[in-house]
Amino acid sequence: MKAFTYQRAASAGEAAAAAAKTPGARFIAGGTNLLDLMKLEIETPSHLIDVNGLGFDKIEATPDGGLRVGALVRNTDLAADARVRRDYGVLSRALVSGASGQLRNKATTAGNLLQRTRCYYFYDTNMPCNKRQPGSGCGALQGFSRHHAVVGASEACIATHPSDMAVAMRLLDAEVETVRADGKTRVIPIADFHRLPGNTPHIEHALEPGELITAVKLPKPAGGVQVYRKVRDRSSYAFALVSVAAVVQPDGSGRVALGGVAHKPWRVEAAEARLPAGAGAVAELLLAGSKTTEHNAFKLPLVQRTLAAVLNDLKRV
């Protein structure tokens, strides 16, 4: 691990300003992703800004009937909150599907959204990776790509976003609240927060330099029956091969989002109009324009079968 300087921020404005004026600075809270990457010298921040003391660790009701989740709320606490379990069941289920109990005790809401989109080749510094070194190439394109993206990828990167929580947040139309280095705040719809790789896969989100997440806002509960199903190689501590988040209303309408298939949580609103027609019709639009390799082509039928299983389960509720 390379040497770095450290400070504890006293306010969100101070943290954002310090990050903006210090080249190579990074915020740290739980550190469950960042510290691992620092040990491998994949991430080499020159300065760490500890934001744990800023008080963003509360879950509060909003005037419109939703919830405002502080950026520092730990994944375990968010999943266990009675209001989340009652009104946002898909989020609670997605959270407990992620990582391990020990990691969920440390990982934060903001940190979960900001974890690096990554694959084996990102970790292997002997292989080219446009995320680690822009312009060096993508080792996964001609390598082993079983876990990689089938939609929304590019010739620069075919990694998949690892977060389970983010898939549920995308389904629920959450909003990300931030503060900039100049003290101004803004709200970013979750649909616009994560980026597809294009030619710049190292730019993974919509935050500006120094911009700090302060909270994630959940809208008024969507109601209906909510499900999160994750298909993975082992039952714990594994990224999704495919995951399906869904909420279905009594009249058959609803929403669907996928994990494990793209560089960002994947939702195609136009596909949701086909829910009454069944999983095949929905998957056709969700996966339109897909591009597979010899190793990950199985993900296309796996999406359809997982979605069909989810919809069949919902019919029995």
pTM tops 0.75, yes or no: yes
According to DSSP, the β-strands at 185-189 and 67-70 are unpaired
Per-residue confidence (pLDDT) for residue 316, from 0 to 100: 72
The reported pLDDT for the residue numbered 118 is: 97
218: β partners? 67
According to DSSP, the residues that pair with 82 across neighbouring strands are none
Q: Are 230 and 303 in contact (CB under 8 A)?
A: no
Tell me the one-letter amino acid at 299. Answer: K
Question: Residue 245, SS3?
Answer: strand
Give the pLDDT confidence of 167-197 residue by residue, as tens digits.
Answer: 999 999 999 999 999 999 999 999 999 999 9
pLDDT tens figures, 26-47? 999 999 999 999 999 999 999 9
How far apart are the C-alpha atoms of 174 and 138, rounded to whole Å?
32
pLDDT value for 317: 67
Both tokens assigned to 81: 């909150």
Collect the ranges in the chain with pLDDT lower than 70. 317
